[in-house]
Amino acid sequence: MEAFVLENKKFVRLPEEEMGHFYSGDCYVFLCRYWIPATEPDSGTKTEESDPQDDFQCVVYFWQGRDASDMGWLTFTFSLQKKFESLFGNKLEVVRTRQQQENLKFLAHFHRKFVVRRGKRKQIRPSDWTAPTEFFQIRSSGSALCTRCIQIAPDSSLLNSCFCYILKVPFDKEDNSGIIYVWVGSQSDPEEARITEEIAREMYDGERFSLQVLNEGEEPDNFFWVGLGERKMYDTQAEFLDHARLFRCSNERGYFAVSEKCSDFCQDDLADEDNMLLDNGDQVFLWLGSRSSEVEVKLTYKAAQVYMQHLQAQQPQRPRQLFLTLKYKETKRFTKCFHGWGPWKRPV
């Protein structure tokens, strides 16, 4: 695998130590060469000239952060893509992927150490800039391969006993020293806790930060809760992960259809042109896109009623309640089903 990152309007090689670390405001390109083993011909047609030959395929993954503009894609298509096409011809496949919508084949390259930070990799800092607290949640969505470490707002209400977190608390404004906490929820997966500690050590390797692993309930008052603002109530279970399902309701094909998204869904799967149904095991949310039509809204409401009737027959022990939610007005019961939920990008 060869990796490139967009820097000053051109793609440059990504340093080896930054492999697997992404920024939401940047674009990355990964050139992957896959070996295709030769297949033996049928015994009846085998000749001396038909010895099988190994082959290869090249796949270029273009990764775009949720805060990055589409200019990165245009820069790629007129620069690196043309170069790769001249080198590999019809053996080349280009896959464009957005943050948290990566396919399993791409995610497998990073061995569950997939880190997404907020902002840009080389961000211009104002003169009065002070070292920020950094807070990350590690979570798997549907499969162990879909494990990501995503930066979230430093808020203690976002803790959950079923997950692991990384908290960086700097001691001074120059960001030269501080402490790294690895918070292990009491109901979290031990393997996920091990990976979280490895990620924390690799993320801050070489910096003058001490690392401390905390089991839930062992938090020191001096820096941990101060780093998160204040101590707040947080969830102690994540049963919603076993039931969370997201459906897209749209008539873009000329007829109304309800289709389920994959279990590894994210915030960007909520499309403004459509309406969505989110089932978290206790509630069914009807999310209205800001540009969906009145007809779509009525049909989505009917679809929600049919879905809840079906659930009542299949799971009478878990009755659901129907809630309406709008973009920019989502509650925590809704947003906690999405890993790394952040503020919506306001239209320019």
- Percent of the chain at pLDDT > 70 equals 91
- Choose one of 188, 218, 236: the last residue of a domain: 236
**Beta bridge pairs of residue 235:** 160
pTM (predicted TM-score): 0.91
If asked whether residues 96 and 10 sit together in one domain, one would say: yes
Find the CATH number of the domain harbouring 103: 3.40.20.10
pLDDT digits (tens, 9 = 90+) for 258-316: 999 998 999 999 999 999 999 999 999 999 998 999 999 999 999 999 999 999 999 89
If asked whether residues 184 and 265 sit together in one domain, one would say: no
Q: Identify the pLDDT of residue 153.
A: 94
Distances in Å between the Cα of 194 and the Cα atoms of 66, 190, 240, 340, 341 are 28, 6, 24, 20, 24
- Percent of the chain at pLDDT > 90 equals 75
In this structure, is the dihedral angle defined by the CA atoms of residues 42, 43, 49 and 53, taken in order, positive or negative?
positive
Residue 20 lies in a domain: yes
Q: Identify the pLDDT of residue 187.
A: 96
Please, are residues 319 and 334 in contact by the beta-carbon 8 Å criterion?
no
pLDDT digits (tens, 9 = 90+) for 302-318: 999 999 999 999 989 99
pLDDT exceeds 90 at position 7: yes
What residues contact 190, with CB distance under 8 A and at least 6 apart? none
pLDDT exceeds 90 at position 128: no
pLDDT band at 126 (very low <50, low <70, confident <90, very high): low
pLDDT digits (tens, 9 = 90+) for 220-253: 877 899 899 889 999 999 999 999 999 999 998 8
If asked whether residues 244 and 222 sit together in one domain, one would say: no
If asked whether residues 55 and 31 sit together in one domain, one would say: yes
If asked whether residues 141 and 75 sit together in one domain, one would say: no
- Choose one of 189, 204, 236: the last residue of a domain: 236
- In the chain, the amino acid numbered 130 is T
Q: What is the Cβ-side half-sphere exposure of residue 238, based on CA atoms within 13 angstroms?
A: 21
If asked whether residues 251 and 303 sit together in one domain, one would say: yes
What value does the mean pLDDT take over residues 154-166? Answer: 96
If asked whether residues 84 and 150 sit together in one domain, one would say: no
If asked whether residues 329 and 284 sit together in one domain, one would say: yes
Residue 91 lies in a domain: yes
| 57: containing domain | 2-40+51-110
pLDDT exceeds 70 at position 337: yes
Residue 127 lies in a domain: no
Residue 116 lies in a domain: no
Q: Identify the pLDDT of residue 173.
A: 64
- The total number of structural domains in the chain stands at 3
If asked whether residues 66 and 103 sit together in one domain, one would say: yes
* Least confident piece of the model among 32-46, 148-162, 247-261, 280-294: 32-46
Q: Enter the DSSP assignment of 329.
A: -
If asked whether residues 319 and 291 sit together in one domain, one would say: yes
- Choose one of 192, 215, 236: the last residue of a domain: 236
pLDDT exceeds 60 at position 142: yes
If asked whether residues 304 and 264 sit together in one domain, one would say: yes
Q: What is the DSSP string of 285-325?
A: EEEEPTT--HHHHHHHHHHHHHHHHHHHHH-TTS--EEEEE
